[in-house]
Amino acid sequence: MITAPLSRRLVLLAALATLATLAMGLSGCDRGTRPPQAIKGASLNASFPASAEGFTVVFTQEKTGFVQATLKQNGINVATLAIADLIDNAEATAKFASSTERIAGHPYAPNGSKGSTLLVADRYQVQVRSLADTFDEAARRSWLTKFQLDTLAALSTR
């Protein structure tokens, strides 16, 4: 008869300890430290370029920590646009360690022969990849700057 209430108390203590840990984690986020999990895809949408001047941006995938869109020019798919949260992806982040060039203040790195990437706020990889041969490296670099890079950078300090 004595052991039952004791074990209940122990369970309660364990639950309180879990809550305290959770609360500490949450307050850490509030103070602006990096959230432990990848960001919701919907939060990344606002940082994509808008459709304009014969180009249309069509969203194709929205996952936790990843959003992708196809860039169409006059109805033809010319490139893909993507933002990936690299919070749990050290291999992909590593390619920026040796980058010497910056675009709009963010480290730039080529990715394969068809991709151009920026690392924003040490966390978000913005990539433009060519689908059409006419969409060359210069076009990729230009489209990287059409992302709302400041909006994206601000996400990491929210």
Partner 1 sequence: MALLGIFGKKKTLVDLVNDLPKGGLTVRSLKALDFIAPGEWKNPTDFDQMMRDLTGETDGDFLTSVKAKAIQLYADEKQGYQKAISIYERVDSADRLLGTAAFADKVGEKVKLLHFLDKITPAADTSQTIDLVLKVISELLAFRQVNGLPGDGIADFAAALGEYAGESKIRMAALVAFDGVIPLGPDFLMKCGDTMSGLTPELLKKSAIFGKIVDFFPKVGATAPVDFVKRGFEATTGWLGGLASGLDRGTIVEHLRQFVEVSDDKLDYLGAFLDVMTTYYSHTGTQSVATRVIQRAVNEV
**Encoded amino acid at 90, one letter:** A
Of 9-17, 22-30, 86-94, 140-148: span binding partner 1 (CB under 8 A): 86-94
Site string for partner 1, 63-82 (x = CB under 8 A): xx-x-x-x---------x-x
Tell me, by CB under 8 A, how many residues bind partner 1: 29
Sign of CA dihedral 135, 138, 142, 145: positive
Q: Which candidate, 130, 152, 155, places its Cα nearest to that of 83?
A: 152
Q: Site for partner 1 (CB under 8 A): which residue of 89, 99, 145, 156?
A: 89
140 lies in the binding site for partner 1 (CB under 8 A): no
Q: Are 82 and 59 in contact, with CB atoms under 8 Å apart?
A: no
Q: Site for partner 1 (CB under 8 A): which residue of 123, 129, 140, 155?
A: 129
Q: Which candidate, 149, 155, 54, places its Cα nearest to that of 103?
A: 149
Residue 117 backbone zone (phi > 0: left; psi -120 to 50: alpha; other: beta): beta
Nearer to partner 1, 61 or 142 (CB): 61
Q: How far is the CB of 34 from partner 1 (least distance, A)?
A: 18
User: Between residue 102 and residue 121, which ones bind partner 1 under the rule CB under 8 A?
Assistant: 111-115
Separation between Cα atoms, residue 21 and residue 34, nearest integer Å: 16
Nearer to partner 1, 33 or 60 (CB): 60
27 lies in the binding site for partner 1 (CB under 8 A): no
- Residue 134, Cβ density class (10 Å: 0-12 exposed, 13-18 middle, ≥19 buried): exposed
Rule CB under 8 A: which residues touch partner 1? 41-42, 58-64, 66, 68, 70, 80, 82, 84, 86, 89, 91-92, 111-115, 125, 127, 129-131
